[in-house]
Amino acid sequence: MITISPTLLTGCVALLCGWVVVGLAGLLRPGSLRFAGRTLFPLGALLGLALALLAGASLLGGGTERLILPVGLPDLPMHLRLDPLSSLFLLLLGASSFGISVFAGGYFRQGEGALPGLLCLQYHLFLASMGAVLLADDAYGFLVAWEVMALSSYFLVTTQHRIPEIRRAGFLYLLMAHVGAICLLLCFGVLQGGSWLFTFDAMRAAHLSPGWAAAAFLLALLGFGAKAGLVPVHVWLPEAHPAAPSPVSALMSGVMLKTAVYGMLRVGLDLLGRPVWWWGLAPLILGLLTIFYGVLFAAVQTDMKRLLAYSSIENIGIVFTGIGLTIVFEGSGLETVAALALLATLYHCLNHSFMKSLLFLGTGSVLHATGERNLGRLGGLIHRMPWVAWLTLIGTLAIAGLPPLNGFVSEWLLLQSFLFADHLPHAFVNLLIPMGMALVVLGAALAGYVMVKFYGVIFLGQPREASLAHAHDCGWLERIGLLWLALGCVALGLFPLQVIRALGAVTGQLIGAAVPQASSHWWLLAPVPGRPVSYGPLVFLTATLAVVFLTVLAVRLTYHQRVRRAPAWDCAFGGLTPRMQDTAEGFGQPIRHLFQSFFEIERELPAPADRTPRYRIAIRERIWRLAYEPLSNAVERLANAAARVQQGRISVYLLYGFVTLIVLLAVALMS
């Protein structure tokens, strides 16, 4: 049955096995940080790079390969498949994990919870399971890989398991992961359509009635949405991301959330065949809601990793908005526009993977250098940690959606596909589209606000605590990791046309149409034939740099370049202190004030005559009180009611067994 030939798919499987071996090797010397950090993590990083190369080759080739491995339960071999969609996400996994793993090699320190060797095993199992999710071609293998992914990442989140909050965050994560997994189980159960064959090929061939197909789609949306962090099933994300060590946060936010997007695309656009247009409304509306919700909460956070977690929620919202648009367009028979929307979706996945990993790793370096996660105790780090500060600046500008970096490209593509919506045959959707567009651009502008706050409060200004004077820049492994991801952001921003050509195979596979190129220039992005629309990031950058260069030259030649350093202007009152700068709370105040009704605010204000004034503000999500607490209370009541049956006496249990037997016999005799 097994046919080993030197194909790309075999190579990918071998690399995933390599990750498992690297992880297991960590157990050889579990206590040695040097062995894990200097040998195993860089080795894992190289495997990631190799995986990215193989996946890239497969993506450019555009072919599909299959493999059946006789592992697992008897009669249930593991089906694997490498097609353009999985190649793209494998490329994303390999390329981001290269940067993250190199960084992780220099990041972990002695005495941080779990042993380094154990951490290495969990980390590489996590990577391998994500790869397996992307390659699986039957529901069985998919769900096993999905569960391994959830469990290994649970252990990684609870690395510092001695802290109660972290244990709590881990539990919440595990709970939501399993609620999602149950939905997926049911979804695959519906998808097999009575054939009881659980390979994806059988599911593609199955004919579902419209009602069941819609049910499968909604179950997939709920299941994958819970993993991706779609509102309202996002609550684990802002707890789990800050709890995990930074490279793990980067992996979870940068890569794991994308496996959920992969699953959504696989089920929604591949397994279910041609989608009905109104299915797309669910991800579209939820996505728009998620954008707005995520960015508002990001704006009022004071913990830097929590801020980034909410920003991830926002970006997942953008991705799901794109998926929704794709389905609406495809269902309405507009293949080219659907391809454009899908392109924006996929491009944003790639972008977010690089920029969010970069930012999470940047916060990790700051955390190590200062021991602080609270924005209110940071500041001025650009002087102490120039490498981290300048590389993080690239990620900050990229995620704020500023040209010519990568975040802008996907937003541009998404807006272009929105602008095509005037051809839709549904009046209701036609009205929804302008509202959606308004929310997307409002979200993008608010993301700029959030990112200025994030960067300005951490790296600029004066240090808010005296201890920050001892902050040090990161080590060379960490620098390489950050540099790789920053270069990824720049490259994705400057060469959109090349990326889009590579993505053409995926849109061809899922939609059956590629976005044609209206331009013949390699530096010009003009995806819309018949409309004179173009964006040329290279020209853009060159022109700006040329103007800047000429200005510098002109100013220097015509005038002079004398500079004098002096204390900052203090209105002649004297005594400027770092305390007078805006804190994170202060910078977010306008948003908190404007959107008061969205937040549950608990405030402690000092009285005017208070000698020892204390100001405290806590912001919670209303959704906890409105939905989750009633839900958890209901579950608890139900469990208590069920517990009445549980007496703890053996005679009662024997009675239960006896009664059951009698009932079953009676049923058997009746029929």
Partner 1 sequence: MRALDWITQVLEVVAALAAAPVFLGWLNQCRAWLQNRRAPSLWLPYRSLHKLFHKEAVIADNASSLFRIAPYVVFGAMVLAAGIIPSMGTRLPLVVAADAIALVGLFAAARVFMSLAAMDVGTAFGTLGARREMMVGFLAEPALLMVIFVASLISSSTALPAITENLASGRIGLSPGLAFSAVAFVLVLLAENARIPVDNPATHLELTMIHEAMVLEYSARHLALMEWAAQLKLFNYVCIGFALFLPWGVARAHIGPVGLLVAIPALAVKLAAAGAGLALIETVSAKMRVMRIPEFLATAFLFAVLGLLVHVLLGA
Q: Give bridge partners of residue 81 from the DSSP assignment.
A: 66
Nearer to partner 1 by Cβ, of 543 and 662: the residue is 543
End-to-end CA distance of the chain: 43
CA dihedral (5, 11, 13, 18) positive or negative: positive
Stretch of 466-474, 560-568, 598-606, 624-632 contacting partner 1, by CB under 8 A? 560-568
With respect to partner 1, which residue has the nearer C-beta, 94 or 401?
A: 401
Peptide bond into 404 cis (omega under 30): yes
Contact of 9 with 80, CB cutoff 8 Å: yes
Among 74, 164, 567, 575, binds partner 1 (CB under 8 A): 567
With contacts defined by CB under 8 A, name the span among 157-165, 173-181, 554-562, 628-636 that binds partner 1: 554-562
Decide if 310 contacts 294 (C-beta within 8 A).
yes
Q: How far apart are CA 347 and CA 345, in angstroms?
A: 5
Query: Tell me, what amino acid is at 268?
Result: G
Q: Which 3 state secondary structure label does DSSP give 162?
A: coil
Q: Which is nearer to partner 1, 138 or 411 (CB)?
A: 411
Q: Which stretch binds partner 1 (CB under 8 A): 206-214, 264-272, 333-341, 553-561?
A: 553-561
- The encoded tokens of residue 365 equal 């370096």
Residue 426 CB, nearest distance to partner 1 (Å)?
A: 12
Binders of partner 1 among residues 519 to 538 (CB under 8 A) are: 524, 531-537
CB-wise, 103 or 420, nearer to partner 1? Answer: 420
> Strand, coil or helix: what is 69?
strand
Stretch of residues binding partner 1 (CB under 8 A), selected from 32-40, 274-282, 312-320, 589-597: 589-597
User: Token match 């999905």: residue?
Assistant: 146
Q: Whose Cβ is closer to partner 1: residue 565's or residue 644's?
A: 565
Please state, in angstroms and rounded to a whole number, the distance separating the CA atoms of residues 392 and 374: 17
Least Å distance, CB 630 to partner 1, is: 33
Q: Which is nearer to partner 1, 26 or 401 (CB)?
A: 401
If residue 600 lies in a helix (H) or strand (E), which one and from where to where? strand 599-604
Q: Does the footprint of partner 1 cover residue 454 (CB under 8 A)?
A: no
Identify whether the C-beta of residue 166 lies closer than 8 Å to the C-beta of residue 240: no
493/354 Cα distance (integer angstroms): 11
Residue whose CB is less far from partner 1, 196 or 569: 569
Residue carrying the six token digits 């740099």: 545
CA atoms within 13 A of residue 262's CA, in its CB half-sphere = 29
* Smallest separation, CB 429 to partner 1 (Å): 10
Closest distance of CB 593 from partner 1, Å: 7
Residue matched to tokens 């419209």:
210
Helix (H/G/I), strand (E/B), else coil: 77: coil
* Least separation in angstroms between CB 546 and partner 1: 8
> Using CB under 8 A, which residues numbered 462 to 521 contact partner 1?
462
Task: Point out which residues pair with 604 in neighbouring strands.
Answer: 616
Binder among 165, 570, 602, 636 for partner 1 (CB under 8 A)? 570
Shortest CB 469 distance to partner 1, Å:
12
Q: Is 649 in the site for partner 1 (CB under 8 A)?
A: no
In this chain, which of 539, 617, 619, 627 binds partner 1, going by CB under 8 A? Answer: 539
Report how far residue 152's alpha carbon sits from residue 107's, in angstroms, rounded to the nearest whole number: 19
Q: How far is the CB of 461 from partner 1 (least distance, A)?
A: 3
Distance CA 405, CA 121 (A): 35
Distance, CA of 194 to CA of 190 (rounded, Å) = 8
Q: How many residues bind partner 1 (CB under 8 A)?
A: 81
Verify binding: residue 551, partner 1, rule CB under 8 A: yes
Q: Which of 68, 460, 619, 627 binds partner 1 (CB under 8 A)?
A: 460
| Lookup: tokens for 366 | 């700051």
Within 10 angstroms of residue 272's Cβ, the number of other Cβ atoms is: 22
Q: Of 1, 4, 73, 563, which lies in the binding site for partner 1, with binding defined by CB under 8 A? A: 563
Beta bridge partners of 537: none
Nearer Cβ to partner 1 (571/670): 571
Q: Which of residues 559, 607, 670, 671 is near partner 1 by CB under 8 A?
A: 559
Task: For partner 1, give the closer residue by CB, 427 or 639.
Answer: 427
Q: Footprint of partner 1 on residues 372-431 (CB under 8 A)?
A: 379-380, 382-383, 393, 397, 400-403, 408, 412, 415-416, 419, 422, 430-431
Return the sign of the alpha-carbon dihedral for residues 497, 500, 505, 510: negative
Taking the complex as a whole, how short is the minimal distance between the CB of residue 584 and partner 1, in angstroms? 11
Cα–Cα dist 276/216, whole Å = 12
- Give the amino acid at 239: E
- At residue 618, the 3 state secondary structure works out as strand
Site string for partner 1, 426-445 (x = CB under 8 A): ----xx-xxx-xx--xx-xx
Helix axes 537-558, 476-494, angle to 10 degrees: 110
Give the one residue of 30, 61, 456, 475 binding partner 1; rule: CB under 8 A. 456
Which is nearer to partner 1, 161 or 592 (by Cβ)?
592
Of the candidates 505, 658, 393, 531, the residue with the CA atom closest to the CA atom of residue 64: 505
Query: By CB under 8 A, which span of 144-152, 177-185, 219-227, 581-589 interacts with partner 1?
Result: 581-589
Q: At closest approach, how far in Å is the CB of 312 from partner 1?
A: 19
